[in-house]
Amino acid sequence: MGEVVGPRLYSCCNCRNHVGLHDDVISKAFQSWLEALKIKSLHLASEKKEETKIGRHGRAFLFSHAMNVNVGPKEDRNLMTGLHTVADVYCCDCHEVLGWKYERAYEETQKYKEGKFILEKSRIVKENW
């Protein structure tokens, strides 16, 4: 009797809601590190709490698409690769912050990121592997 195999998926680490397909991974070589300006200003308690909650450091995957997520308001952030307009991405079931969506890249060499999603490795788990 054969095993039923579905697509390899990534799910929210909190509630296991499916948020991405392995076939939509463009790169696993991203760092989801918060922009240098905020890191330097972590002495403010509110920013420390936000940094800890969101966990914007460590490895991240660049996806062409994401599913079952809500996209927050757009904001400009000075990331390691320059200024970008991004919007935080949340699990639509449990509202866990999973990463962000690149809305606009100001550097010509970064335009390929526009419309794509960063999902932090620490916020997603593999399913059907």
Q: What is the pTM of this model?
A: 0.80
Contact present, 116 and 26 (Cβ < 8 Å)? yes
Question: Using one digit for the tens of pLDDT, what is the confidence trace for 29-87?
Answer: 887 644 333 433 443 444 444 433 344 668 999 999 999 999 999 999 998 889 999 99
Where does the chain show beta strands of DSSP type E? 9-12, 18-21, 25-31, 59-63, 69-79, 82-91, 97-105, 117-120, 124-127
